[in-house]
């Protein structure tokens, strides 16, 4: 039997109109990617797929949390994930002509029967992370970072 990814959508025989798919992605999902910044997570994904006669419109909504390493003290840091993304899928020829060069449009060969969206889920989750991932400060400006680690890092920086 052909191995099929958990996040593979069967396009063959899909009826016109709206289809809703739900997944929860966790730490195990991100562990499949070597370069993942996310160590642990629980993210609910709802995909609404609209099949039009000539193209597909995918609307992903991600909601949950992800654990990364703090940029400052390297301790685990839990962040909220809330993301909303659209992806258009066109079907086209083989030589890539007239393909719109946009991130949110992909072109599959005519007759393609499957679409694996795992890579997109991975990207959307990472895109929803803030650029600066650090523990928050409290009302007194006291950082929630691991003070012991910060001291160690500071010593290291001074020595070098
Ligand atoms: Zn920190």
Residue-wise pLDDT tens digits, 21-48: 999 999 999 999 999 999 999 999 999 9
Phi, psi of 146 (to 5 degrees): -70, 105
Give residue 83's pLDDT: 93
Range with lowest mean pLDDT among 90-99, 120-129, 150-159: 90-99
Q: What residues have CB less than 8 Å from 56, skipping those under 6 apart? A: 11, 49, 50, 88, 89, 115
How does pLDDT run across 111-139, given as a tens digit for each residue? 899 999 999 999 999 999 999 999 999 88
Determine the distance separating the centroid of ligand 1 and the alpha carbon of 124, expressed in angstroms. Answer: 24
| pLDDT beyond 90 at 102 | no
Length of the chain counted residue by residue:
160
How does pLDDT run across 67-79, given as a tens digit for each residue? 999 999 999 999 9
Determine the distance separating the centroid of ligand 1 and the alpha carbon of 126, expressed in angstroms. Answer: 19
Residue 111 in 3-state DSSP? coil
Confidence of residue 2 (pLDDT cuts 50, 70, 90): very low
Give residue 100's pLDDT: 57
Determine the distance separating the centroid of ligand 1 and the alpha carbon of 147, expressed in angstroms. Answer: 8
């Amino acid at each position: 039997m052909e191995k099929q990814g958990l996040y593979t959508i069967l396009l063959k025989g899909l009826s016109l109109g709206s289809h809703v798919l739900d997944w929860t992605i966790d730490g195990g999902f991100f562990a499949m990617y070597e370069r993942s910044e996310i160590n642990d997570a629980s993210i609910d994904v709802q995909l609404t797929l609209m099949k039009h006669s000539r193209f597909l419109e995918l609307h992903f909504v991600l909601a949950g949390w992800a654990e990364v390493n703090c940029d400052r003290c390297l301790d685990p840091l839990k962040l909220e994930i809330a993301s909303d993304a659209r992806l258009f899928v066109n079907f086209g020829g083989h030589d890539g002509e007239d393909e719109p060069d946009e991130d949110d449009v992909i072109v599959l060969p005519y007759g393609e029967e499957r679409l694996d969206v795992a890579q997109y889920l991975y990207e959307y989750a990472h895109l929803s992370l803030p650029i600066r991932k650090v523990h928050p400060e409290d009302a007194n400006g006291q950082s929630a970072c691991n003070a012991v680690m910060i001291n160690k890092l500071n010593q290291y920086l001074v020595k070098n």
